[in-house]
């Protein structure tokens, strides 16, 4: 039997490693949190829904303020429909973007498409859940003049926004078992000094969306409906001040 040369062995090794990495990446990104049946039904039943090219939006009758959310990593965007509906019921144009492989950091500019299609909105707020908030912070750090503020749901920012004029709000459930609190404390310096930091008593990580229980999280002591309503009220207070 003819023996393989050292060069061919190296080439076959590289090909094998590449295949393993591709399969691993495919498995990782396709194992994501799906929107609940409640969220999907809400989308179907709501008449004032807008399906944009890269976003889903709940549109109130009259509005001049818009909030764009980036989904948490490996969370289906539709899972945030209940929170968006709560915001729209309070007169806020509320959208969530679709991002590649359900990973917002792969397209931190996604919000601009929403903004381009809605020039009637005078005041834009960018935000995100979990790692989606980190992606929102990247965009806000590059273009702070495009936004009035940033909203972080169980999240933090790694971009320095401390010298900007952005209004900022962080919401964290007291029972959150997923957020890296050390990273949150470490990166607090990146937010404006007047940032409003609010703990939702009894809330957890997953209940900002509607996709079921998340591995590593703690059980919530409040209902998901209560967490959505409280979150919407705190966001409304931020944008009307």
DSSP string, 199-229: EETT--SGGGSSS---TT----SS-HHHHHH
- Shared domain for 2 and 91, answered yes or no, is no
Number of domains in the chain: 2
Place of tokens 């299609």: 117
When pLDDT is averaged across residues 116-140 and rounded to a whole number, the result is 98
Whether residue 206 sits in one domain with residue 162: yes
Task: Find the DSSP H helices in 35-154.
Answer: 37-45, 81-89, 111-117, 131-142
| Maximal C-alpha separation, the chain | 79
Rounded to an integer, the average pLDDT of 95-115 is 97
Token look-up 């994501």 returns 32
Do 47 and 15 reside in the same domain of the chain? no
Strand locations in the chain, DSSP E? 49-51, 55-58, 65-70, 93-97, 123-129, 149-153, 167-173, 196-200
Task: Return the pLDDT at 5.
Answer: 66
Going by pLDDT thresholds of 50, 70 and 90, the confidence category of residue 17 is very low
Do 137 and 202 have their domain in common?
yes
| pLDDT surpassing 80 at residue 18 | no
Q: Are 231 and 200 in contact (CB under 8 A)?
A: yes
Give, in order, the Cα–Cα distances in Å from 33 to each of 36, 129, 232: 9, 13, 22
In this structure, the answer to whether residues 2 and 93 fall within a common structural domain is no
Answer yes or no: do 20 and 54 share one domain: no
Banded model confidence at residue 113, pLDDT cuts 50, 70, 90: very high
Residue 233 DSSP SS3: helix
Mean pLDDT of the region 123-129: 98
2 with 67, same domain? no
Strand, coil or helix: what is 92? coil
The whole domain housing 235 covers 33-240
Same domain, 65 and 17: no
pLDDT over 80 (residue 31): no
Supply the CATH number for residue 50's domain: 3.40.50.1820
Q: Are residues 88 and 157 in the same domain?
A: yes
Q: 59 and 104: one domain? A: yes
209-222: pLDDT as tens digits? 999 999 999 999 99
Report the pLDDT value the prediction gives residue 241, as an integer from 0 to 100. 85
* Claim to verify: residue 8 and residue 105 sit in the same structural domain: no
Is the domain of 67 the same as that of 178?
yes
Mean of the per-residue pLDDT values for the chain?
91
């Amino acid at each position: 039997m003819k023996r393989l040369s050292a060069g061919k062995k190296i080439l076959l090794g590289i090909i094998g490693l590449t295949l393993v990495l591709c399969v691993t990446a495919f498995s990782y990104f396709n194992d994501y949190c799906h929107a609940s049946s409640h969220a999907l039904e809400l989308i179907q039943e709501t008449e004032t829904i807008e399906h944009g090219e890269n976003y889903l939006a709940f549109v109130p009758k009259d509005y001049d303020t818009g909030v764009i959310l980036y989904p948490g990593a490996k969370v289906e965007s539709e899972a945030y429909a209940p929170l968006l509906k709560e915001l729209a019921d309070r007169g806020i144009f509320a959208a969530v973007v679709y991002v590649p492989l359900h990973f917002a950091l792969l397209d931190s500019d996604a919000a601009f498409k929403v903004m381009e299609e809605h020039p009637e909105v005078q005041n834009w707020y960018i935000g995100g859940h979990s790692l989606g908030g980190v992606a929102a912070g990247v965009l806000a750090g590059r273009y702070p003049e495009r936004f009035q503020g940033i909203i972080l749901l169980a999240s933090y920012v790694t971009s320095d926004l401390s010298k900007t004029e952005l209004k900022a709000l962080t919401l964290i459930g007291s029972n959150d078992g997923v957020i890296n609190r050390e990273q949150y404390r470490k990166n607090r310096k990146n937010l404006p000094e007047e940032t409003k930091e609010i703990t939702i008593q009894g809330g957890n990580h997953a209940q900002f969306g509607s996709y079921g229980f998340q591995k590593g999280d703690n059980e919530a002591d409040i209902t998901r409906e209560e967490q959505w309503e409280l979150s919407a009220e705190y966001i409304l207070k931020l944008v009307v001040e």
